Structure 1
Amino acid sequence: MELEALGIGRDQEAVYRTLVAAGPASEADLRTHDVVAGTRLEAVLADLLDAGLLVREGARFRASPPELALRSLVVRRRSELGRAENALAELTELFRVSSAGSMRDMVEVLTGADAVRQRFVQLQHAATTSVRAFVRADPLVLTAEENPAEDEAVRRGVAYQVILERGALEGPGALALIEESVAAGEEVRRVDSLPLRMLIVDDDLALVPLAASGETGAVAVRRSGLLDALVALFDQYWARAVPVVGERVAGEAELDGRIVSLLLQGYGDRSVAAQLDVSPRTVQRRIRALMDEAGVNTRMQLGHAIGRRRGED
């Protein structure tokens, strides 16, 4: 839901939207809309009153004007984020000082696939300028389809440079997925083989996943001579790697049409991907593009928009 970032839950947003659209209503009126389960409605209304999003008028509830009520929440959240950024800077400096002169200042060891996966996603969410990656044919903790943080970072303007092993191009739908990445603004090149898996973020930190004796782990390398060496290694491979040029599985318009047709028949993302021999991530990206083109926010709205368009045709 769109207001979750302001601390407004799904049920609270649903009730607020109903009152904005329908006007003042009693609790009994709201129950007829069946927006929230009956046992939850009283608590949801109390939350909205506390947040200043509703005003009680006798037995009826009226939505506060969004431009006032929501703006105050936005201002408050910006203030909270400002304080959090100050705390981040303070804690970072404290950590640096307390770790000075120790190996912890240069290298952090992560143990376990879950810890590595969490840090891999976390670093991409924190990236501000660039992400550079070595991607081997055998993913250790996360596949490309399981990495939504990459799409989010690219949309924020983070520059991605990715070097793939040749074997990483051989999976079903791999070339289509790479084309989607390139179309989104990523640079993708390939080499025959890579010496390791690696993620370098903003030239500030590198994550190198490792596996030894059946145990998965990683080292996170902060600014140091070792990080400089990893950046130089990436640059050497990038200079000799060749751009990946894949063939389309189908023309974009044809692919979109087939995706929409299967969605309207009730197929899920993975079933659509299997039917069309593309990755689920490709399906999700094309659906997002279709929603943006139609100016809608949900798949249900997309279905209605396509239905109307077909009726007009």
Structure 2
Amino acid sequence: MLAAIGLDERQEAAYRALVALGAADVTDLAHRLGLPEAETERALRRLESRGLAAGSPARAGRWVAAPPGVALGALLTRQRQELERAQAAAARLAEEYRAEAAECAVPDLVEVVTGAAAVEHRLDQLLLGARREVCALVTRGPVPVPEPGVAYRVVVEREVLSLPGGAAALSAVLGDEVRVRVADRVPARLVVADRSSGMVPLTGPGAEPVALVARASGLLESLSALFEAVWRDALPLRLGTGGEVAEEAAAGPDATDLEILSLLLAGLTDASVGKQLDLGLRTVQRRVKGLMELAGVTTRLQLGWHARERGWVTRV
């Protein structure tokens, strides 16, 4: 329990015994702990260095425990301060790494990872380092396990659901908080974290695992675009706790959305659209944002192109 503040099992046992006894000499404490006296004294010296025990001023050779509320509280405070300093140092290093990555040469933008253990380790690092969103295309093989506080979007190949226990296993791994879609075919396994790094395998089944890790570059942008294209055309999927699968019909804009799109493409501002349709400005902006999410785009220009391609604006 006290390993977090640097005590091993013997040192913790010695401290607990001193707290229970109030005071004890080395011989009595060694007998109580079932340890040689030399090891018991080493444990006591370690406790003394941590401020948890001290020689009794009233009687030579006896040891007393420092009050746990004071001594342990001070050690925990020190541990928290050290952790905060370590976190600050890690943040500075991350900033330096990002700055360096932005200026690095082409060979530094990609990394080839060879071997099953190395590939798995590198994937774990990529997932643990994500702070905002992880996007994944899943064919056969392990499914990325979501990290708390990180948004996940996953497209699974339909064949995964047809495997024995495939749906139940997928539901157990991903959980309700992950947005899942299904596609008839996923072009490749792919993981992209925070749009700053991505990983894609280079070998097929049966061969020694080799994966390519791409950092901020045109290659990573292409991988992100590939995911968005597959995500946009895939069908939403609901996974029940027992592995039940329900595919939802492809969502589309309603009549009001189509009117808003038509007026925006005609050159009206959000405020003017709201007045024309008797809608509040925030309602218009919220609906436009929803349309962008539905289309899988990040700009209004892309939304306009997508609306034309899908025939949304020709239906009003």
Q: CA deviation at 1:29?
A: 4.1
Where do residues 1-313 of structure 1 align in structure 2 (5 Å cutoff)?
4=4, 8=6, 11=9, 14-15=12-13, 18=16, 22=20, 24=22, 26=24, 28-29=28-29, 32=32, 43-52=42-51, 54-58=52-56, 59-63=62-66, 64=68, 65=70, 66-94=72-100, 97=103, 99=104, 102-137=105-140, 139=141, 143-144=142-143, 150-151=145-146, 153=147, 155=148, 157-181=149-173, 183-211=175-203, 214-249=207-242
Whole-angstrom distance in 2 between the partners of 1:160 and 1:111: 26
Match of 2:81, SS state, is helix
Does the CA contact (< 8 Å) of 1:11 and 1:44 recur in 2?
A: no
Normalising by structure 2, we get a TM-score of 0.61
TM-score computed with the length of structure 1 as normaliser: 0.61
Indicate the structure (1 or 2) with the bigger Cα radius of gyration: 2
Tell me the distance in 2 between the aligned counterparts of 1:120 and 1:136. Answer: 16
Cα distance in 1 for partners of 2:182, 2:41 equals 58
Aligned residues: 233
Over the matched positions of the two proteins, sequence identity in percent amounts to 27
Provide closer, same or farther for how the CA distance between residues 81 and 40 of structure 1 changes in structure 2, counting only shifts above 3 A.
farther
Would the alpha carbon gap of residues 47 and 107 (structure 1) be closer, same or farther in structure 2, given more than 3 Å must change?
A: same
Q: Distance in 2 between matches of 1:196 and 1:42?
A: 61
- Which has the higher relative contact order, 1 or 2, with Cα contacts under 8 A spaced 6 or more apart? 1
Q: Give the whole-Å Cα distance in 1 for the aligned partners of 2:85 and 2:126.
A: 24
| Other structure's SS at 2:203 match | strand
The Cα of 1:210 is off from its aligned counterpart by 2.1
Are the aligned partners of 1:134 and 1:162 in contact in 2 as well (CA < 8 Å)? yes
- Give the CA deviation at 1:238: 1.1
Q: Does the residue aligned with 1:207 lie in a helix, a strand or coil?
A: strand
* 2-structure distance, mates of 1:15, 1:161: 48
Distance in 2 between residues matched to 1:234 and 1:86, nearest whole Å: 31
Amino acid at match of 2:9: D
Gaps of 5+ in 1: 251-313
The aligned residue for residue 259 of structure 1 is none
